[in-house]
Chain A
Amino acid sequence: MQKYSAFGLLRHALSHHENWPAAWRSPDPQSNYDVIVVGGGGHGLATAYYLAKNHGIRKVAVLEKGYLGGGNTGRNTTIIRSNYLWDEAAQLYEFALKLWEGLSQELNFNVMFSQRGVFNLGHSLQDMRDIERRVNANRLNGIDGVVLNPAEIKEKIPLLNCSQSSRYPVLGASWQPRGGTARHDAVAWGYARAADALGVDLIQQTEVTGIRVVNGNVTGVETRRGFIGADKVACVTAGNSGVMAGMAGLRLPIESHPLQALVSEPLRPCLDTVVMSNAVHGYISQSDKGDLVIGAGIDRYNGYGQRGSFSVVEHTIQAICELFPAFSRVRMNRQWGGIVDTCPDACPIISKTPVGGLYFNCGWGTGGFKSTPGSGYVFADTVANDDAHPLAKPFSIDRFYSGALIDEHGAAGVAH
């Protein structure tokens, strides 16, 4: 791997930037691997990277049916925060946030992690009670958080409508200054390049069509390019997790839903933070190239179609215009959908399965992007040791039998 640096930039400038090497190889699959990671999104690539880096497992393949980062990794609104209510979730997301803070250096790839802060607005007395409770819980867990009043919010977000006569007046907010955004594609590319440098085979355009199980243990996967053997198979396939589980004869407590997002035409800098509201239900930030990045809730029906209904887009825009009347004339540029796998308790599943050597990392719902580094880290540890990482232990699939759910639905609302 050629290390990226200012000096390298200068040197390549002399040859008109025409001699940059490919960021990763495109190898043909070998016949056998120690670990096969199914799914070449951020979580899968991070898993492969940490398997190689932290656990010295170099015979690793990432199988991707499309292209790297082409699923939800490239379709989300890139919000990063860790202000979850419950200890288990807060610690997992905070672990991820700490990894984010050193990620560009670690990967030698600028993931454009920008700690511009995240505001969660409250519009009712109950919202404010929940916000105060959550911020207090966060601080007990060592996570930064501040409760702000409308005057303080107005000072930080001048365009926000803080009028007390609006339909859903802003009564306050929680503010996590260390939260922010990152460049989603760069996260996939950075992990891909770093994993490739450690010997991981990144195999694109290779869809897994079956999981071979012999005597209760996984022996490999069937793909469009034939059978590939593996001692362990780690599935990180977001919206299609249920389909993958079905291949091994398992069921998951997951339902797949479309989640839509949209971006506007590029504007001059006007919003230097991330604003989320559960009550009017929308979230918005401005990307470095100037477009407003907007999202909201899932389409309620099950779907795998990577698109949703226009009524959801309409509600999203209504919420944004309620919060930012100044944006009512902004034209939207693109709109798209991803497929999120939602769990009943709005928390992920990072787990072994009844099939030996088969692991699932799924159910991140609408909040997976923010946890990419932490998810990969603890899942790689779980796969390598065949035993849950301490942070992953509460997220075992067994919780749906034991009843030990981590109910972030009430705490995180719907917006993630």
Chain B
Amino acid sequence: MLQIYCPYCREMREEEEFSYSGEAHIKRPDNPEALSDEEWGDYLFFRKNPRGLHCEMWQHTVACRRYFNVVRDTVSYEIHETYPIGSQPSKMTDAALGSTD
């Protein structure tokens, strides 16, 4: 069972209160019409799925209902950091964060 800190409610709460929403920092293409099928498929379906540090979105479903980001290790499940949408993690290395476009 994960214990997750909601950066909006400023409380450590049980995983059951939250919904997982997948990889974070995926930006919708500015001009979808201009993309090739490969680029659009990449945006829709292809994910980093790293074995290690992962930036991911969670929603605090039963409380503030807001989305925020979490840096979590996908092997140990240890949560390193939670931070609001629109900001970058402080502790991630560039290699783990990868491209944020």
Across the A-B interface, how many residue pairs have beta carbons closer than 8 Å? 65
A309 touches B2 (CB 8 A): yes
Interchain nearest-CB distance for B47 vs A (Å) = 5
B15 touches A311 (CB 8 A): yes
A301 touches B49 (CB 8 A): no
- Interface residue? A303 (CB, 8 A): yes
Q: Which of B5-13, B38-46, B88-96 lies at the interface with chain A?
A: B38-46
**Given A311-B16, A403-B37: 16 more A-B contacts, CB < 8 Å:** A242-B49, A252-B49, A253-B47, A254-B49, A256-B51, A256-B74, A301-B2, A301-B20, A301-B56, A304-B74, A305-B75, A309-B15, A311-B1, A400-B41, A400-B44, A403-B41
B49 / chain A contacts, CB cutoff of 8 Å: 242, 252, 254-256, 302
**Residues 229-261 (chain A) with a chain B CB within 8 angstroms:** 240, 242-243, 251-256
The residue of chain B having its C-beta at the shortest distance from the C-beta of A258 within the complex is B77
Q: Which residues of B contact A (CB under 8 A)?
A: 1-2, 14-16, 19-20, 22, 37-38, 40-42, 44-51, 54, 56, 72, 74-77
- Interface residue? A310 (CB, 8 A): yes
What 0/1 readout, one digit per residue, does chain A (259-287) give for beta carbons within 8 Å of chain B? 00000000000000000000000000000
- Interface residue? A105 (CB, 8 A): no
Given contacts A255-B47, A302-B49, are A401 and B56 in contact (CB under 8 A)? no
Partner of A251, one of B14, B19, B46: B46
B46 touches A303 (CB 8 A): no
A252 / chain B contacts, CB cutoff of 8 Å: 46, 49
A300 touches B46 (CB 8 A): no
A303 touches B77 (CB 8 A): yes
B46 touches A400 (CB 8 A): yes
- Interface residue? A402 (CB, 8 A): yes
Interchain nearest-CB distance for B91 vs A (Å) = 19
What 0/1 readout, one digit per residue, does chain A (208-221) give for beta carbons within 8 Å of chain B? 00000000000000
B74 touches A305 (CB 8 A): yes
A240 to B52, CA, bound (A): 12
A–B complex contacts, Cβ < 8 Å, 28 sampled: A242-B51, A243-B51, A251-B42, A251-B47, A252-B46, A252-B49, A253-B47, A254-B47, A255-B49, A256-B74, A300-B19, A301-B56, A302-B49, A302-B54, A302-B56, A303-B75, A304-B74, A305-B74, A305-B75, A309-B1, A309-B2, A311-B15, A344-B44, A400-B44, A400-B45, A401-B40, A402-B37, A403-B41
B45 touches A304 (CB 8 A): no
Partner of A255, one of B22, B38, B42: B22
A305 to B14, CA, bound (A): 19
Interchain nearest-CB distance for A336 vs B (Å) = 15
A301 touches B19 (CB 8 A): no
Question: Which of A240, A252, A310, A401 is the most central at the interface, judged by chain B CB atoms within 10 Å of its CB?
Answer: A401
A300 to B54, CA, bound (A): 14
The residue of chain A having its C-beta at the shortest distance from the C-beta of B14 within the complex is A311
Given contacts A242-B49, A255-B47, are A302 and B74 in contact (CB under 8 A)? yes
B56 / chain A contacts, CB cutoff of 8 Å: 301-302
A251 to B16, CA, bound (A): 31
